[in-house]
């Protein structure tokens, strides 16, 4: 596969730097969905029509204004095996939908992997920007700049009353999905999480797991995103998300202070037990690994562990996923074998 680094390096360059509120907010993401005028949606298109869309959109990358985003490397889904596709999904560089698409699906990825442009996914064009910490406005600024360049070259499917037309009705309007990945262990431990998430759903936002719709929230990681794309402007969507996330951050900080003040010894014991199990376990399934890594991350953030960096934990979050695990060891594994190799990988990484 060309551009093999995208599937062999666990940590994207954008993840190596911190961002605002990075102790609680892991990442911010903005995704814009667009379709071309007078062309069938990807699910209805023929192979030739999909190929034509890919060629038309790829030609836009020659616009000199695209140079401000650095080199964008093309990755054709037809050139990837199933394992490589799985790794790209685990790194959030492509969606599960694109991984399952075989007709002229492609993604163009920037050097630091903060920008990925998916073609012939559920929609003809999906522009995605990823930033560390709470930088949803910065992600939106970059995504809309890329969108402006494409719009200067192609005609979008647009209705004066409904806005941008998309394959899924829930994206009609702005076509914008803005999301923030949050680590909320203290709200879970103090049993406040259900109340908080219930309140979130009342203000036009939704909560999902680490891989978006249909995925489970493991390792105390929750993805907060807008649910409404029609009837609100892009700025209103971004501002609403930012405002709610700031409130959740304050609740999480208060819960962490409460845990330290009321049960510091118990918290230290929990963190150190998880750290010890990660260091010495011979078998570790993905759900337990996510929970133990969450405990240790909280320990680092609270100053209970000082000999471990968050960057190592970020790497392990990706490396312990099924696809990357098999990619690293170059072995096709059963679920039981993955548990063994996962424990081995964690021991080796933390042991350094």
Tokens of 21: 């509120």
What whole-number distance in Å separates Cα of residue 81 and Cα of residue 171? Answer: 30
209 is in an annotated binding site: yes
274 is in an annotated binding site: no
The answer to whether the CB of 209 falls within 8 A of the CB of 215 is yes
Co-location of 154 and 277 in the same domain: no
What is the Rg, in whole angstroms, of the alpha carbon atoms belonging to the chain? Answer: 21
207 is in an annotated binding site: no
Q: Which helix (H) or strand (E) holds 135?
A: none
338 is in an annotated binding site: no
Co-location of 14 and 117 in the same domain: yes
177 is in an annotated binding site: yes
> Which CATH number is 116's domain given?
3.30.590.10
Residue 294 CB partners (closer than 8 Å, separation 6+): 183, 185, 219, 220, 221
- Is the pLDDT at 336 greater than 70? The verdict is yes
Co-location of 6 and 142 in the same domain: yes
29 is in an annotated binding site: yes
**Residue 217 lies inside a defined structural domain of this protein:** no
**Count of domains for the chain:** 2
- Strand locations in 205-244, DSSP E? 205-208, 221-226
| Final residue belonging to a domain, choices 123, 143, 173 | 173
| Final residue belonging to a domain, choices 124, 149, 173 | 173
What whole-number distance in Å separates Cα of residue 22 and Cα of residue 26? Answer: 6
Co-location of 165 and 272 in the same domain: no
State pLDDT tens for residues 146-175: 999 999 999 999 999 999 999 999 899 999
Co-location of 35 and 153 in the same domain: yes
How many Cβ atoms sit within 10 Å of the Cβ of residue 88? 24
State pLDDT tens for residues 269-322: 999 999 999 999 999 999 999 999 999 999 999 999 988 888 899 889 989 999
Tokens of 151: 């719009």
Give this prediction's pTM. Answer: 0.91
Tokens of 147: 């969108």
> How much is the average pLDDT of 189-213?
84
Query: What are the helix (H) ranges across the chain?
Result: 5-8, 47-60, 82-90, 96-99, 136-153, 185-189, 193-201, 234-280, 286-301, 310-319, 322-329, 335-351
Residue 250: the pLDDT is: 97
| Final residue belonging to a domain, choices 145, 173, 201 | 173
How many Cβ atoms sit within 10 Å of the Cβ of residue 51? 14
State pLDDT tens for residues 47-96: 999 999 999 999 999 999 999 999 999 999 998 999 999 999 999 999 99
Closest CA to 291 of 231, 197, 216: 216
- Is the pLDDT at 213 greater than 80? The verdict is no
65 is in an annotated binding site: no
Co-location of 6 and 116 in the same domain: yes
**Residue 224 lies inside a defined structural domain of this protein:** no
**Residue 211 lies inside a defined structural domain of this protein:** no
233 is in an annotated binding site: no
Co-location of 143 and 39 in the same domain: yes
**Residue 128 lies inside a defined structural domain of this protein:** yes
**Residue 108 lies inside a defined structural domain of this protein:** yes
CA dist list (Å): 174 to 42, 228, 293, 306: 19, 9, 36, 44
**Residue 8 lies inside a defined structural domain of this protein:** yes
Residue 211: the pLDDT is: 54
219 is in an annotated binding site: no
334 is in an annotated binding site: no
**Residue 73 lies inside a defined structural domain of this protein:** yes
Model confidence at 212, pLDDT cuts 50, 70, 90, reads low
Co-location of 161 and 309 in the same domain: no
5 is in an annotated binding site: no
**Residue 214 lies inside a defined structural domain of this protein:** no
What is the SS3 assignment for 40?
A: coil
CA dist list (Å): 306 to 19, 300, 332, 335: 20, 6, 36, 33
Domain that holds residue 158: 1-18+28-173
What whole-number distance in Å separates Cα of residue 312 and Cα of residue 98? Answer: 29
């Amino acid at each position: 596969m060309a551009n093999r680094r995208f599937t062999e390096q666990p940590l994207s360059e954008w993840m190596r730097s911190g961002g605002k509120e990075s102790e609680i907010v892991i990442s911010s993401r903005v995704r814009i969905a667009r379709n071309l005028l007078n062309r069938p949606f990807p699910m209805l298109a023929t192979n030739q029509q999909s190929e034509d869309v890919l060629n038309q959109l790829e030609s836009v990358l020659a616009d000199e204004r695209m140079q401000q985003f650095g080199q964008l490397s093309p990755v054709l889904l037809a050139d990837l095996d199933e394992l490589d596709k799985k790794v790209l999904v685990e790194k959030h560089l492509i969606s599960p939908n694109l991984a399952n698409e075989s007709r002229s699906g492609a993604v163009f990825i920037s050097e630091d992997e903060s920008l990925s442009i998916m073609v012939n996914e559920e929609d003809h064009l999906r522009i995605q920007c990823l930033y560390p910490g709470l930088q949803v406005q910065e992600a939106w600024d970059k995504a809309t700049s890329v969108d402006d360049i494409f719009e200067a070259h192609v005609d979008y499917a647009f209705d004066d009353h409904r806005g941008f037309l998309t394959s899924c009705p829930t994206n009609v309007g702005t076509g914008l999905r803005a999301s923030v990945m949050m680590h909320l262990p203290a709200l879970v431990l103090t049993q406040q999480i259900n109340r908080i998430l219930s309140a979130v759903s009342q203000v036009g936002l939704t909560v999902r797991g680490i891989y978006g719709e249909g995925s489970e929230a493991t390792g105390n990681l929750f993805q907060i995103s807008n649910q409404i794309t029609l009837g609100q402007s892009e700025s209103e969507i971004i501002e609403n998300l930012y405002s709610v996330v700031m409130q959740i951050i304050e609740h999480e900080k208060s819960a962490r202070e409460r845990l330290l003040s009321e049960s510091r010894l118990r918290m230290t014991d929990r963190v150190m037990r998880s750290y010890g199990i990660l260091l010495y376990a011979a078998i570790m399934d993905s759900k337990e690994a996510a929970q133990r890594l969450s405990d240790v991350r909280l320990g680092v953030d609270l100053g209970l562990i000082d000999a471990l960096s968050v960057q190592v934990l970020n790497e392990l979050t990706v490396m312990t996923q099924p696809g990357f695990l098999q990619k690293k060891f170059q072995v096709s594994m059963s679920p039981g074998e993955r548990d063994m190799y996962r424990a081995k990988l964690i021991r080796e990484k933390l042991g350094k």
